[in-house]
Structure 1
Amino acid sequence: MNNRTYPPIHKALKKYYGYDEFRPGQIDLICALLDGRDVLGIMPTGAGKSVCYQIPAVFLPGITLVISPLISLMKDQVAALNQAGIPAAFLNSSLNSGQYRKALYFASQGRYKIIYVAPERLLTPAFLNFAQSMNISMIAVDEAHCVSQWGQNFRPSYLDIAEFAQKLPKRPILAAFTATATGPVKDDILHMLNLKDPKLLVTGFDRPNLYFEVQQPRDKMKAIQDYLEEHTGQSGIIYCQTRKETEEVAQALCEAGFPCTRYHAGLDDTERSRNQDDFQFDRVPLIAATSAFGMGINKSNVRFVIHYSLPQSLENYYQEAGRAGRDGAPAECILLFAPADI
């Protein structure tokens, strides 16, 4: 950190989030952004990436756009920001045309400090016209690995971000954040987003509160049920390889008396959203899901993540297992292995 005077960021941390101390790496990124530098933060799930761009957004003069791939995450983040006293809104496909126009109108009146937007919206005429007429101080890219075809969850619309930034009257600060980035993914993020001399922070991947174990049971379903008997009422995710496997696991657990919902790409949007909310808000303690579930899920009390099958890659495993224990309390990550999985 240099000798310049920074805004009272510790007071902001206490006022808006209730914390007394920053987590490792957060101050470095916040100060870099307040200095006007681009940043790339590679920080584990639960390390507080959102604080790194939300606090600078409070002090920067204009609007901060947060580009996020997940509607549910946007809703949660915006609700939390407004409750904390930071005016925020989201613009995505969950709004009908009237609601979208109204939100855009309020945004153009300068009502919000932070606006969450889906990447697909960036180059639409209405949004681009709005952005070009406002002072956009910063663009924060959440789940930045989506820009890379080498990372899981590639989203082609993420490739529009650099073009969008170029179309603005003044280049905003660019901040990119992800939990996992291998060498090729990191290089892609730097290149595709056109980051200029960014402050790069990799805080490491160790999560001391997580316990990892590999089991090789004869009967995976019995192993899960035995585990659930010992962890009654706790919230957990069971990751499956296929839609069919997801259906079978959810049904078997429900029939055995363990309430469990399901999530995979074969369900319609309404059911997927309902099932996710049931799990998110503790109406159902368990969810069986494919890898389609969970990116950006901000549920703090997941006490265990069980992998019913081998994940597609080590990176996927870290991302999925990392949904456990986001509150910092002990949580377990159990991988059920069978040679046939390979």
Structure 2
Amino acid sequence: MLTKATEVLRDYFGYDSFRTGQEQVIESVLQGKDTLCVMPTGGGKSLCYQVPALVMEGTVLVISPLISLMKDQVDALKEAGISAAYINSTMTSEEYHETMEATIRGEYRLLYIAPERLDSPSFTNRLQLMNVPIVAIDEAHCISQWGHDFRPSYRNIRKMVSLFHEKPVVLALTATATPAVREDICTQLKINEENTVVTGFERENLTFSVIKGQDREKFVIDYVKKNEGEAGIIYAATRKAVDHLYDVLSKRGVPVGKYHAGLSDITRQEGQEQFLNDETSVMIATNAFGMGIDKSNIRYVIHYQMPRNMESYYQEAGRAGRDGLKSDCTLLFSSQDVQTQRFLIDQSLDETRIPMELQKLQSMVDYCHTEACLQKFIIQYFGEENVSDCGRCANCTDTRESLDVTEDVQKVLSCVIRMGQRFGKTMIAQVLTGSRNKKVKDFGFDKLTTYGILKGRSAKDVSDFIEFIISENYLGVEHGQFPIIYVAEAGKDVLMGKQKVFRKVSVVTKQITVDNPLFEKLRDLRRQLAQDAGVPPFVVFSDKSLHDMVSRMPTTEEAFLEVNGVGLTKLERYGEPFLKEIQAYQKETVSTS
């Protein structure tokens, strides 16, 4: 059966071999073993149930909480010549009944459903009329109360599986699961822990960086402008921050969209479709966006504010580079982010979950402050041991010049003490820069010896400098109703001249891809064909496929079939226009050389 699976992989999906872990998972499923598959975002989990769906008889049932993923995957399967459908809340009653009847007749190889459907006895009764060889459970961490996104409906899955006359194979899949969560998934679904496949959490094509104590807005503007035309997501923790960044980039002519829970369903849907179809290149969003977005050509993810836990961060950052091409993941840290996330945790969770979430938040803060390898920190968090440095992240490759800023740090620390260690960053910056603000005068701070001691610098610059000092743990922040800054133990050594402080020069934004005229022509062609087919461009071909075409320059159907991601259906559907474009480019290049 594994030989048949390899043929399916090549003929339908255009790949010659399985990625790490895929073959092991598929073999386990085909042998009838309930299996847990843990692969990082972009690792190719969906093929672990899509390939068996074409090898086994019947309809594979895929349980997913993500409406957008259902649509993207069904679109992609149809483009590859595979019959698939979904049932979710966007459908009319008539569409729902038609899809159910067609599934019972065996017309689909895969059927995607939301877990909430399992709350309905009438629905689960209809399921028993279907031939279901596999139940694939996506985002399986949602079944665990120790996970970061627990959903009660997932607890109905085990009961639903028991209703079938012939028990289907259970395949649970997740990208982000600590050892405790993996154990809980196996317990809840009665999966033998020996049948767990963990491929490793490292994403070798991603470069991670954390930037502290810099002007975040300026960084984002510079980065987006330098990478115009490349698809990127910018995550922010609050709707207010999303709206602000959207306005900032829109005014600068960037084709940008926004997505958060405060927008209407229609507005969110339109924004998402425009991003998927490459009509906008940048999406600014809260964490409400992106779950299950299958867009493969996202070249960068920027976190404008720190997320609340490592699971969310790695899942969101992992939406970059799903096609395997090099991509950037940047987190812009400010100490205020801790206060923001603490507020959101208090507001959104029941009291029993708060201590666990605060522990997860602290791990995220530790990540932002570590000077060790960032990728190593992440994968150790998920339970991998004996991990080497990645050699790619900003911490591993940092060669920036360090400047001695001890004297300026002493000035800030001294000012904090003279102000009584009971004020926030804004007031401290105003005193240091000699502001004539009424509050400064009312408190008598204009009489302090440290008043105006940094008057040659802007208040914004001094605020960023205070952020840097906080990130180095010389200043601490007491997170009450208002954040209060105080001198930490390490800061006292600086004041007494026992410790010098060095600051690296600011991180400079970079262009992440090299311009290539043929790639741009193929990208334009892909966009046109996608519009004609009514699907997102990445469903036609991934960026990786386009880059492989540029590298191989195929001029025959046989050569085109060798391109990464080109199967028989894609060759038949799109081979001719792409071959013509490549041949025209070759002629043009010869005539101008």
Same fold per superposition (TM over 0.5): yes
Alignment of structure 1 residues 94-133 onto 2, 5 Å: 94-133=90-129
1:161 to 157, 175, 198: 157
Aligned equivalents of 2:93, 2:194: Cα separation in 1: 37
2:332 is aligned to 336
Distance 1:305 1:239 in 2: 8
Instruction: Tell me what 1:32 maps to.
Output: 28
Which letter maps to 1:195? I
Q: Does 1:315 align with 2:311?
A: yes
SS of the residue corresponding to residue 261 of structure 2 reads coil
**Structural mapping, 1:230-249, within 5 Å:** 230-249=226-245
Q: Distance in 2 between matches of 1:341 and 1:84?
A: 43
Match of 1:266 in 2: 262
Q: Are the aligned partners of 1:64 and 1:140 in contact in 2 as well (CA < 8 Å)?
A: yes
Per the normalisation by structure 1, the TM-score is 0.95
Q: In the aligned structure 1, how far is the partner of 2:38 from the partner of 2:192?
A: 17
SS in 2 for 1:122: helix
Give how far 1:124 is off.
Answer: 2.1
Matched residues in 2 for 1:140 and 1:213: separation? 34
Q: Does 1:306 align with 2:302?
A: yes
Tell me the CA shift for residue 217 of structure 1. 4.6
Rounded to whole Å, the distance in 2 between the matches of 1:271 and 1:159 is 32
Q: Is the 8 A contact 2:37 2:173 kept in 1?
A: yes
Distance 1:228 1:191 in 2: 45
Asked whether 1:56 is paired with 2:49, we answer: no
Whether contact under 8 Å (1:78, 1:89) holds in the other structure is yes
1:171 equivalent in alignment to 2:167: yes
Larger Rg: 2
1:142 is aligned, of 138, 145, 153, to 138
Secondary structure of 1:19's partner? coil
Using the alignment, how far apart are the partners of 1:155 and 1:265 within structure 2? Answer: 19
Give 2:64's match in structure 1, choosing from 43, 63, 68.
68
Q: Secondary structure at the match of 2:292?
A: coil
Q: CA deviation at 1:216?
A: 2.2
After superposition, the C-alpha distances for 1:23-46 in whole angstroms (9 at most, x for unaligned) are: 001111101100000111100111
Distance 1:293 1:184 in 2: 27
Whether the aligned pair in 2 keeps the contact of 1:63 and 1:115 (CA below 8 Å) is yes
Q: Does 2:323 match 1:327?
A: yes
Q: Which has the higher contact order (CA 8 A, sep 6+)?
A: 1
Match of 2:475 in 1: none
Richer in helix (by share): 2
- Equivalent residue in structure 2 for 1:151, among 147, 151, 154: 147
Q: Deviations over 1:161-185 (max 9, x none)?
A: 1111122222210001111101222
- Whether contact under 8 Å (2:103, 2:130) holds in the other structure is no
CA drift of 1:158 comes to 1.2
What fraction of aligned residue pairs are identical, expressed as a percent?
A: 48
Structure 1 residue 196: Cα displacement: 4.4
Cα gap change, 1:67 to 1:175, in 2 (>3 Å): same
Structure 1: how far apart are the matches of 2:335 and 2:133?
52
Q: Which runs of 5+ in 2 are unaligned?
A: 339-593
Give the Å deviation of 1:96. Answer: 0.4
| 1:195 matched to 2:182 | no
Deviation of the 1:7 alpha carbon: 4.3
- Checking the alignment, whether the CA contact within 8 Å between 1:37 and 1:197 is kept in structure 2 is no
Structure 1: which 5+ residue stretches go unaligned? none
SS at match of 1:332: strand
Structure-1 residue corresponding to 2:385 = none
TM-score by length of 2: 0.55
Aligned equivalents of 2:202 and 2:171: distance in 1? Answer: 23
Q: Is the contact between residue 217 and residue 223 of structure 1 (CA under 8 Å) also seen in structure 2?
A: no
Q: Superposition RMSD on alpha carbons, in Å?
A: 1.5
CA distance in 2, matches of 1:228, 1:208: 23
- Output the amino acid matched with 1:89: A
- Comparing 218-227 and 78-87, the one that deviates more: 78-87
The one of 279, 286, 293 equivalent to 1:283 is 279
Deviations 1:259-312 (A, max 9, x none): 221111222221111111111111111111111111111111111100101111
How many angstroms apart in 2 are the aligned matches of 1:279 and 1:286? 7
Offset at residue 150 of structure 1 (A): 2.3
Q: Is the 8 A contact 1:303 1:330 kept in 2?
A: yes
Q: In structure 1, what is the Cα distance between the partners aligned to 2:292 and 2:180?
A: 22
Q: 1:83 is matched with which residue?
A: 79
Relative distance call for 1:193 and 1:268 in structure 2 (3 A) is farther
Give 4+ residue runs of structure 1 displaced > 4 Å after superposition.
Answer: none
Q: Is the 8 A contact 2:186 2:193 kept in 1?
A: no
- Structure number having the greater strand percentage: 1
**Does the 8 Å CA contact 2:106/2:131 hold for their aligned counterparts?**
no
